[in-house]
Amino acid sequence: MDLNTINSMSYEEFLDIFGNIIERCPIITAAIWSQFPFASVTELENSVYDFIESLPLTGKEGILRCHPDLAGRDLMRGTLTDESQTEQAQAGLTALTPKERETLNLLNSQYKAKFGFPFVICAKMSDKNKIMRELASRLQNEQSQELQIGIAEVKKICHLRVNDLFLNVKLPTKL
Amino acid sequence: MDLNTINSMSYEEFLDIFGNIIERCPIITAAIWSQFPFASVTELENSVYDFIESLPLTGKEGILRCHPDLAGRDLMRGTLTDESQTEQAQAGLTALTPKERETLNLLNSQYKAKFGFPFVICAKMSDKNKIMRELASRLQNEQSQELQIGIAEVKKICHLRVNDLFLNVKLPTKL
C-alpha cells in the first residue's frame, strides 16, 4: 500500500480502516489524523505511541480496560472485535479444553482483582501455553510495572495490526 | 439509582453501562473508573470533563471525529450507536425531507472540509430547523472556536446521557 494513499484520506476513510489499531480506542486513530501527512509507516506508528505517552496514567489504564479478557466473556458472547478474534484464534485461545479455560479464567480474575485492568499480551506473538505461564508470572508484579508492560504489549499489538493493514487491506478503488 | 451501586461496580460493569457517555470513546469511561468512588453524579461528570481537558488538542479533535454526522452515513447505514440514534430521532433528523437531507449533507461536507472534524451539537436540546441554522452560522467561525464549541457540546451530550442512565437504567439484580 502506498503511503500517499493514506495521506490523502479523509478522517472518515482513515478511521474506517485504521480505527481499531488500538483496541476499542478510535479516538487515538482520530487524533493522529491531525498529523497528516506521514513520511513513513514508522512515523504513523510513532504518532500513536506518542499520543499514548501523552495521556495521564488513568488514560493508560483506560486503554488497558478497553481490551477484552483472553478467552473471556467477549469471546464466549461473540462480541470480540474482528482483530481480537483473529489474534486469540491464532494463539489457540478459541480451542481451549474446559480445564484450560477454567485455569485461564481464574488467573484473569485474580489479575483484574489485583490490578484493576485486564492482562494484556500480544497474543499473535505467543501461544496458549506461553500466555498462561506469562499470566501466572506477571500476576506477581507491582501495579506500576504491569501498567508499563501492558502498554508495551498494546504497542506491539498496534504494530502488527498496522503491518497487516499495510500488507492486506483492499483500498477503495476511487483512491 | 444509588451512587453506591455505581461505586461498587467492576470496570467491566461500569463500561457496560457508561461506556458511551462520550460517543465512541469508552477509553474515557474506562479511565475515570480509576477515580472511584464518586461522592456525587456531578463529581463523576467532572472527572469526564477534566479528563477531556487533560488531552492535547489532537485528542479533543479526535473526540469530535468519533462523532457521526447528523443525518449522515451512519444513520443511513443503521450503524449509529443507540444513544445517537435516539438523539437524532428526537431532533427530527430521521424524518427529513429529501431536500432537507440534501441541504444538511452539503453543510456537513462544507463544515468538515473547513475544520477537519464533524459538526457536533447536542441534538437533544435542539430540533432540525435550529440545527440547520446553527450549522450555517458556525460554519463562519475559526477552527479554534469550533473546537471549543464542539467540545462544549460533547459535554452537554454527556450530561444528558449520564442523567438518562441514572434515571432509567435497569441494574443487574445481583447488585
pLDDT in tens, A131-168: 999 999 999 999 999 999 999 999 999 999 999 998 87
Same-domain pairing of A15 and A43: yes
Same-domain pairing of A90 and A18: no
Contact B66 A24 (CB under 8 A): no
Average pLDDT (A38-51) is: 97
**pLDDT recorded at residue B175:** 42
Distance from CA of B66 to the nearest CA of A (A): 6
**pLDDT recorded at residue B167:** 85
Half-sphere exposure of A57 (CA within 13 A, CB side): 9
Q: Residue A172 above 50 pLDDT?
A: yes
Instruction: Please choose, from the candidates A157, A79, A151, A75, the residue with its C-alpha nearest in 3D space to the C-alpha of residue A117.
Output: A151
Q: Domain with A7 in it: what CATH number? A: 1.10.3330.10
User: Angle A110-A114-A115 (CA atoms, 0-180°, nearest 5)?
Assistant: 120
Asked if residue A142 lies in contact with residue A114, where contact means CB atoms within 8 angstroms, the answer is: no
Average pLDDT (A165-172) is: 72
Same-domain pairing of B82 and B147: yes
Contact A33 B116 (CB under 8 A): yes
Query: What is the count of structural domains for chain A?
Result: 2
Show the DSSP H helices in B33-142 as ranges.
Answer: 41-54, 57-65, 73-77, 82-90, 98-115, 128-138
B168: pLDDT confidence band, cut at 50, 70 and 90? confident
Mean pLDDT across chain B: 94
Asked if residue B157 lies in contact with residue B126, where contact means CB atoms within 8 angstroms, the answer is: no
Q: How far apart are CA B12 and CA B127, in angstroms?
A: 35
**pLDDT recorded at residue A2:** 82
Same-domain pairing of B79 and B138: yes
Q: How far apart are CA B115 and CA A175, in angstroms?
A: 22
Mean pLDDT across chain A: 94
Same-domain pairing of B97 and B150: yes
Q: How far apart are CA A106 and CA A103, in angstroms?
A: 5
Average pLDDT (B136-163) is: 98
Q: Residue A106 above 50 pLDDT?
A: yes
**Residues of B whose CB is below 8 A from A59:** 27, 31, 51, 54
Cell of B30: 474506562
Q: Residue B119 above 50 pLDDT?
A: yes
Query: Is the preceding omega at residue B37 within 30 degrees of 0, hence cis?
Result: yes
Q: How far apart are CA A12 and CA B112, in angstroms?
A: 10
Half-sphere exposure of A8 (CA within 13 A, CB side): 9
Same-domain pairing of B31 and B89: no
Domain contains A81: yes
A67 has catalytic annotation: yes
Q: Residue B171 above 90 pLDDT?
A: no
**pLDDT recorded at residue A168:** 75
A169: pLDDT confidence band, cut at 50, 70 and 90? low
Contact B51 A59 (CB under 8 A): yes
Same-domain pairing of B148 and B84: yes
Cell of B76: 443511513
Same-domain pairing of B38 and B74: no
Same-domain pairing of A34 and A98: no
Residue of B21, B23, B51, B67 marked active site: B67
Average pLDDT (B61-88) is: 96
- Of A173 and A165, more confident: A165
Distance from CA of A174 to the nearest CA of B (A): 18
Same-domain pairing of A11 and A38: yes
Same-domain pairing of A149 and A75: yes
Domain contains B126: yes
A99: pLDDT confidence band, cut at 50, 70 and 90? very high
Residue that the C-alpha cell 450503524 belongs to: B79
Domain contains B92: yes
**pLDDT recorded at residue B172:** 54
Q: Residue B57 above 50 pLDDT?
A: yes
Residue of A67, A128, A138, A161 marked active site: A67
Q: Residue B174 above 50 pLDDT?
A: no
Residue ranges making up the domain that contains A39: 3-61+164-168
Contact A63 B28 (CB under 8 A): no
Domain contains B123: yes
Domain contains A29: yes
Q: Residue B116 above 50 pLDDT?
A: yes
Chain A residues near any Cβ of chain B (below 8 Å): 10-12, 15, 24-35, 51, 54-59, 61-63, 65-66, 73, 112, 116-117
Residue that the C-alpha cell 487533560 belongs to: B54
Average pLDDT (A8-34) is: 97
Q: Residue A173 above 60 pLDDT?
A: no
